[in-house]
Structure 1
Amino acid sequence: MIRNFKPEEFKGGIQSWGIVQDDREILYVANNFGLLEFDGATWHLYPVKTGTKVRSVHVGREGRVYIGSQGDFGYFMPNKAGELSYHSLADSLPGNYRNFDEVWRIYEQAGHIYFFTVKYIYQYTPGKPVQVISTRLPQEFSFQVNKNIYTQAWGKGLYQLENNKLKLLPGGDFFAQKKIASVLPFDKNHLLILTIRQGIYLYDGQQVRPFAVEDEEFFQDMIINQAILLRDGNVALGTQNKGLIIMDNRGKVILTSSVRDGLLDNTIHTLYQDTQDNVWLGLNNGLSMVELSSPFSRLDRTLGLSGTGYAALQQGNQLFLGTNSGLYVSDLNTPKKSFKPIPNSTGQVYHLNQINGQVLMAHHNGPFVIQNNIARLIYPQGGAWDFVAVPNQPDKLIFGSYVGINLLSSSPEGLQFLQQFKGLEESSRVLEFDKDGELWMAHGYKGLFRIKFDADLQKISSVQFYNSKSGFPSDQLINMEEINNELIFPALRGIYRFNKAKNKFELDKAYSALFGPEEHVVEMEQDIHGSIYFISNERVGKITFDKFGKPSIEDKLFKNIKEQLNDDLSYIQVLDLNNVIFGAKDGFIHYNAAKTKRLAPYYTRLAHVISTSAEEDSLLLTGRKLDMATDTELPFALNSLRFVYAASYFEQFEKTQYQYYLENFDTGWSGWTNKTEKEYTNLPEGTYIFRVRAKNMYDTVSEAKPFKFTVKPPFYRSPFAFTIYTLLGVVVVGSVFFQVDRRFKKEKRRLILDKERKLGQKEMEIREITNQSEQEIDRLRDEKLQAEIDHKNRELTYSTLHLINKNELLNSVKLELQSMLKNGGSAAPQEELKKIIRSIDQNIISEVDWKQFEVHFNHVHGDFIHRLQDQFPSLTPQEIKLSTYLRLNLTTKDIAQLLNISVRGVEISRYRLRKRLNLDRADNLTDFMLKF
Structure 2
Amino acid sequence: MLLCFLCLTTTVQAQDYFFGNPVIRNFKPEEFKGGIQSWGIVQDDRELLYVANNFGLLEFDGATWNIYSVKSGTKVRSVFVGKQGRVYVGSQGDFGYFEPDQAGILTYKSLADSLPTKDRNLDEVWRIYEQSGRIYFFTFKNIYQYTPGQKVQVIRTKGPLEFSFQANKNLYILAWNQGLSLLENNQLQLLPGGEFFAQKQIASVLPYDKNRLLIVTIKEGLYLYDGQQVAPFLLQETTACQELVINQAVLLKDGNFALGTQNKGLVVIDNQGKLVLHTAVQDGLLDNTIHTLYQDTQDNLWLGLNNGLAMVELSSPFSKLDGTLGLAGTGYAAMQKDNSLYVGTNSGLYVTNLTSGKKRFTLVPQSTGQVYHLDHIGGQLLMAHHNGPFLIKDNKAQLIYPLGGAWEFVQVPNQPNRLVSGSYYGISLLSSTPEGLKFLQKFKGLDESSRVLEFDRDGDLWMAHGYKGIFRVTFDAAYERIIKVQFYNSKNGFPSDQLINMEKINNELIFPALSGVYKFNKATNRFVLDKFYSSLFAPDEHVVEMEEDIQGNIYFISNQRVGKISLDKFGKPTMEDKLFKNIQDQLNDDLSYIQILDLNNVLFGAKDGFIHYNAAKPKRMAPFQTRLAQVFSIASEKDSLLYTGRLLDRAQDTDWKYAFNSLRFVYASSFYEQPEKTQYQYYLEGFDGGWSTWTNKTEKEYTNLPEGTYIFRVRARNIFGTLSEAKPFEFVIHPPFYRSSWAFLFYALLGGLLVGAVAMQVDRRFKKEKRRLILDKERKLGQKEIEIREITNQSEQEIDRLRDEKLQAEIDHKNRELTYSTIHLINKNELLTAVKAELQNIIKNGGRAAQADELNRIIKNIDHNITSEVDWKQFELHFNHVHGDFIHRLQERFPCLTPQEIKLSTYLRLNLTTKDIAQLLNISVRGVEISRYRLRKRLELDRSENLTDFMLKF
Q: TM-score range by the shorter chain?
A: 0.7 to 0.9
Shift of 1:377: 2.5
Map 1:327-726 → 2, pairs under 5 A: 327-724=349-746
User: Would the alpha carbon gap of residues 437 and 754 (structure 1) be closer, same or farther in structure 2, given more than 3 Å must change?
Assistant: closer
Partner of 1:203: 225
Give the Cα separation in 2 of the matches to 1:443 and 1:724: 82
Code of the aligned partner of 1:413? E
User: Would the alpha carbon gap of residues 382 and 713 (structure 1) be closer, same or farther in structure 2, given more than 3 Å must change?
Assistant: closer
3-state secondary structure, aligned to 1:576: coil
Contact 1:197 1:223 in 2 (8 A): yes
Shift of 1:681: 2.1
Give the Cα separation in 2 of the matches to 1:125 and 1:367: 76
Map 1:223-302 → 2, pairs under 5 A: 223-302=245-324
Per-residue CA deviation, residues 444-501 of structure 1 (Å, 9 max, x unaligned), is 2222222222222322222222222222222222221100001111122221111112
Give the Cα separation in 2 of the matches to 1:717 and 1:386: 78
Contact 2:503 2:546 in 1 (8 A): yes
Report the more deviating stretch, 185-194 or 364-373: 364-373
Report the more deviating stretch, 741-750 or 156-165: 741-750
Per-residue CA deviation, residues 538-590 of structure 1 (Å, 9 max, x unaligned), is 21111122332122322111111111111111100011111100001110000
Per-residue CA deviation, residues 323-377 of structure 1 (Å, 9 max, x unaligned), is 1111111112222111111122111111111122222111222222222322223
Give the Cα separation in 2 of the matches to 1:727 and 1:382: 96
Map 1:844-855 → 2, pairs under 5 A: none
User: Would the alpha carbon gap of residues 295 and 736 (structure 1) be closer, same or farther in structure 2, given more than 3 Å must change?
Assistant: same
Contact 2:511 2:519 in 1 (8 A): yes
Partner of 1:108: 130
Per-residue CA deviation, residues 271-321 of structure 1 (Å, 9 max, x unaligned), is 111111111111111111111111111100000001110111112222111
Give the Cα separation in 1 of the matches to 2:757 and 2:65: 64
Shift of 1:744: 9.0
User: Would the alpha carbon gap of residues 93 and 501 (structure 1) be closer, same or farther in structure 2, given more than 3 Å must change?
Assistant: same
User: Would the alpha carbon gap of residues 732 and 502 (structure 1) be closer, same or farther in structure 2, given more than 3 Å must change?
Assistant: closer
Code of the aligned partner of 1:45? I
Contact 2:635 2:661 in 1 (8 A): no
Shift of 1:53: 0.8
Shift of 1:730: 6.7
Contact 1:657 1:674 in 2 (8 A): yes
- Pick from 10, 17, 25 the counterpart of residue 3 of structure 1: 25
Partner of 2:35: 13
Contact 1:119 1:136 in 2 (8 A): no
User: Would the alpha carbon gap of residues 507 and 726 (structure 1) be closer, same or farther in structure 2, given more than 3 Å must change?
Assistant: closer
User: Would the alpha carbon gap of residues 216 and 190 (structure 1) be closer, same or farther in structure 2, given more than 3 Å must change?
Assistant: farther
Contact 1:317 1:333 in 2 (8 A): yes
Partner of 2:862: none
User: Would the alpha carbon gap of residues 714 and 401 (structure 1) be closer, same or farther in structure 2, given more than 3 Å must change?
Assistant: closer
Map 1:58-137 → 2, pairs under 5 A: 58-137=80-159
Per-residue CA deviation, residues 233-292 of structure 1 (Å, 9 max, x unaligned), is 111111111111111111111222111121111111111111111111111111111111
Shift of 1:133: 0.7
User: Would the alpha carbon gap of residues 680 and 446 (structure 1) be closer, same or farther in structure 2, given more than 3 Å must change?
Assistant: closer
Map 1:833-912 → 2, pairs under 5 A: none
Shift of 1:442: 1.8
Partner of 1:189: 211
Give the Cα separation in 2 of the matches to 1:624 and 1:216: 52
Map 1:149-160 → 2, pairs under 5 A: 149-160=171-182
Contact 2:96 2:112 in 1 (8 A): yes
Give the Cα separation in 2 of the matches to 1:426 and 1:711: 71
Give the Cα separation in 1 of the matches to 2:463 and 2:771: 117
Contact 1:69 1:102 in 2 (8 A): yes
Gaps of 5+ in 1: 756-932
Code of the aligned partner of 1:232? D
Partner of 2:831: none
Contact 1:444 1:479 in 2 (8 A): yes
Code of the aligned partner of 2:446? L
Report the more deviating stretch, 592-601 or 397-406: 397-406
Contact 1:472 1:491 in 2 (8 A): yes
Give the Cα separation in 1 of the matches to 2:118 and 2:488: 93
Contact 1:32 1:54 in 2 (8 A): yes
Give the Cα separation in 1 of the matches to 2:80 and 2:663: 33
3-state secondary structure, aligned to 2:646: helix
3-state secondary structure, aligned to 1:311: strand
Per-residue CA deviation, residues 773-821 of structure 1 (Å, 9 max, x unaligned), is xxxxxxxxxxxxxxxxxxxxxxxxxxxxxxxxxxxxxxxxxxxxxxxxx
Partner of 2:234: 212
Per-residue CA deviation, residues 16-46 of structure 1 (Å, 9 max, x unaligned), is 1111000001111111111111111111111
Give the Cα separation in 2 of the matches to 1:475 and 1:638: 60
CA RMSD of aligned residues (A): 2.4
Per-residue CA deviation, residues 681-721 of structure 1 (Å, 9 max, x unaligned), is 22222111111111222222211111111112233433344
Code of the aligned partner of 1:392? N
- Give aligned-pair identity as a percent: 74
Give the Cα separation in 2 of the matches to 1:646 and 1:205: 45
Give the Cα separation in 1 of the matches to 2:280 and 2:575: 35
Give the Cα separation in 1 of the matches to 2:630 and 2:100: 13
Give the Cα separation in 2 of the matches to 1:184 and 1:158: 13
Code of the aligned partner of 2:85? G
User: Would the alpha carbon gap of residues 745 and 481 (structure 1) be closer, same or farther in structure 2, given more than 3 Å must change?
Assistant: closer
Give the Cα separation in 1 of the matches to 2:194 and 2:297: 34
3-state secondary structure, aligned to 1:667: coil
Give the Cα separation in 2 of the matches to 1:136 and 1:334: 51
1:31 maps onto 2:53 in alignment: yes
Equivalenced residue count is: 758
User: Would the alpha carbon gap of residues 477 and 744 (structure 1) be closer, same or farther in structure 2, given more than 3 Å must change?
Assistant: closer
- Pick from 161, 167, 172 the counterpart of residue 145 of structure 1: 167
3-state secondary structure, aligned to 1:703: coil
User: Would the alpha carbon gap of residues 754 and 455 (structure 1) be closer, same or farther in structure 2, given more than 3 Å must change?
Assistant: closer
Of structures 1 and 2, the one with the larger relative CO (CA 8 A, separation 6+) is 2
3-state secondary structure, aligned to 1:706: strand
Contact 2:391 2:436 in 1 (8 A): no
- Pick from 302, 317, 325 the counterpart of residue 303 of structure 1: 325
